[in-house]
Amino acid sequence: MEENKNFDLDTIMDELSSRLEDMIEDALIDQIDDAVTCAVQDALPEALGESFSHFEFVLSNGTIVRPRQHMKLFSPDKSKLVICYGGLRVDGSTLMVQTRISSWESIAYYQSREEAIEALAKVKNAMDSNLTICEL
């Protein structure tokens, strides 16, 4: 009977160990992804010349895309700080920020789409002024 208890404990420990390894691997992958993204975005403007760092284009959904943008954005209530790595967009009345190449995060919710667009314009003006932080 004691052998079954030991076996069950071993099985549980193996499962916990496996889950912990998976969690650590996921966290490391995220950190590596962030580090590679930053390295690539930092290297691109240097590799392609200074003029490329001022390049910008707007997608059909209104997303503003800029290479090598590291603007820090504070939410209106100052509870959230995100780093914008290139894109901004308005979804309904929500201002969205590109926090990684494939990741978007909401920074603020507004009463109307127009207010969200005004906030986007404020951030764009701060970027144009080469500010490193913008408080919404």
Q: Is the pTM of this model over 0.85?
A: no
pLDDT of residue 50: 47
pLDDT tens figures, 65-111: 655 557 788 889 888 888 887 678 888 888 888 877 667 888 999 99
Contact 27, 46 (CB under 8 A): no
Per DSSP, what are the bridge partners of residue 57?
A: 65
Task: Tell me the mean pLDDT in the region 37-45.
Answer: 58
Contact 111, 128 (CB under 8 A): no
What are the backbone angles phi and psi of residue 115, rounded to the nearest 5°? -65, -40
Burial class (CB in 10 A: 0-12, 13-18, 19+), 116: buried
Per DSSP, what are the bridge partners of residue 106?
A: 96
Contact 71, 134 (CB under 8 A): yes
Per-residue pLDDT band at 49 (split at 50, 70, 90): very low
Domains of the chain, residue spans: 2-50, 56-135
